[in-house]
Amino acid sequence: MNYDVFNGDADGLCALHQLRLANPVKAELITGVKRDIKLLDRVQAVAGDQVTVLDISLDSNRARLMQLLEAAVHVEYFDHHYAGEIPRHINLVSHIDVSADVCTSILVDRSLEGRYRLWAVVAAFGDNLRQSALVLARSAGLAESQIEQLARLGKYLNYNGYGDSLDDLHFHPVKLYEEMKPYPDPFDFIDGSAAFNLLAAGFRNDMGMIGTLLPLSEGARYAAYLLPDAPWARRVAGVFANRLANDDPSRAHAVITPTRCGDYSVSVRAPIAKPEGADTLCMKFETGGGRKAAAGINRLPTDALDRFLVIFAEQFKGSSPA
């Protein structure tokens, strides 16, 4: 039996889509909202089964991964988040690169030697890796208008992954993958899928709610924003953080959103001009993790908010381009 385990954001979706366009298999799909990363705990594989993992931290799933490997389950792992020590095991094939300029779909693109590259472009834009996306797009000979179309698609797919629960999303990630599945070419998806138009409309409506939100805390090299307790705010947290980062690339940004459980989730973006330190900051908190340029904290207790703001300021107050 095959299991495909993937993050529910643009990168996880596009990575899986590329891989299964090139190598179609019948598989059980396991995913969730973007912050739902301990997905291997849901895999009930047995000896001889194949598990493909896309865009979730190996370090966060280490215990279950080792159980699966020792049970003679074959695992292929594609990821760009902090991994810690990568196990050496006969049943593991890993494609892990934590460089700040790659995403999981780029690693799949490398593995497939550029087949279905346009979907890797979509994913890179969704992960706010604009320069990496532009390099891939230009290698494919795309016009500027086409590049901007794929950038919007990446943004919308990523936007759909954010939420406190699946109820906050416009599409369950499995449903969105099924919408993408018939389209080897993302331009055909844009033209032919009603899902694209629904996501575009939802994105416009939700981003329009932000208005003139002022920082909760700021300095010359950083700014933190607190969003209201509302489903639209949980949906836009990631894309709002990306927009802030793009609008002011010399600053680090944090977007803090109340959750349904009464605590906060946090999205952190390191300065684009110096894309490092986001993972280091977030891993100082129990449910934190991510990558150098972009990371998050899944559950920040309300009484830890002030501590987070202090550590965030300390981490980035001296950050400036090298």
Domains of the chain (ranges; CATH) run 2-203 (3.90.1640), 217-316 (3.10.310.30)
In the chain, pLDDT over 70 holds for what percent of residues? 99
Mean pLDDT within 72-81: 97
Asked if pLDDT for residue 9 goes beyond 60, the answer is: yes
Q: What is the pLDDT of residues 98-115, one digit of tens each?
A: 998 999 999 999 999 999
Q: What is the pLDDT of residues 28-44, one digit of tens each?
A: 999 999 888 899 999 99
Beta carbons of 158 and 10 less than 8 angstroms apart: yes
Element (DSSP H or E) covering residue 265: strand 264-269
Looking at per-residue pLDDT, the higher value among 198 and 322 belongs to 198
Q: Mean pLDDT across the chain, nearest whole number? A: 95
Beta carbons of 293 and 309 less than 8 angstroms apart: no
pLDDT of 21: 98
Distance CA 41, CA 236 (A): 28
Q: What is the pLDDT of residues 117-142, one digit of tens each?
A: 999 999 999 999 999 999 999 999 99
pLDDT of 322: 42
Q: Residue 194 contacts by C-beta under 8 Å, 6 or more apart in sequence?
A: none
Distance CA 165, CA 252 (A): 27
Asked if pLDDT for residue 155 goes beyond 90, the answer is: yes
Asked if pLDDT for residue 273 goes beyond 60, the answer is: yes
Q: How far is CA 192 from CA 92, 119, 170, in A?
A: 38, 16, 18
pLDDT of 35: 84
- Residue with tokens 């190996």, as numbered in its chain: 58
Mean pLDDT within 173-192: 98
Beta carbons of 169 and 235 less than 8 angstroms apart: yes
Mean pLDDT within 293-303: 95
Nearest residue to 2 (alpha-carbon basis) of 73, 83, 95, 69: 73
Element (DSSP H or E) covering residue 93: strand 92-96
Asked if pLDDT for residue 284 goes beyond 80, the answer is: yes
pLDDT of 319: 53
Beta carbons of 193 and 125 less than 8 angstroms apart: no
Give the pLDDT band of residue 317 (cuts 50, 70, 90). Answer: confident
Asked if pLDDT for residue 24 goes beyond 80, the answer is: yes
Asked if pLDDT for residue 195 goes beyond 90, the answer is: yes
Strands (DSSP E) found in 13-55: 28-30, 50-54
Asked if pLDDT for residue 73 goes beyond 80, the answer is: yes
Beta carbons of 300 and 308 less than 8 angstroms apart: yes
Q: How far is CA 310 from CA 88, 165, 235, 242, 319, in A?
A: 39, 28, 26, 22, 15
Structure pTM?
0.88
pLDDT of 186: 98
Asked if pLDDT for residue 321 goes beyond 60, the answer is: no
Give the pLDDT band of residue 212 (cuts 50, 70, 90). Answer: confident
Asked if pLDDT for residue 320 goes beyond 80, the answer is: no
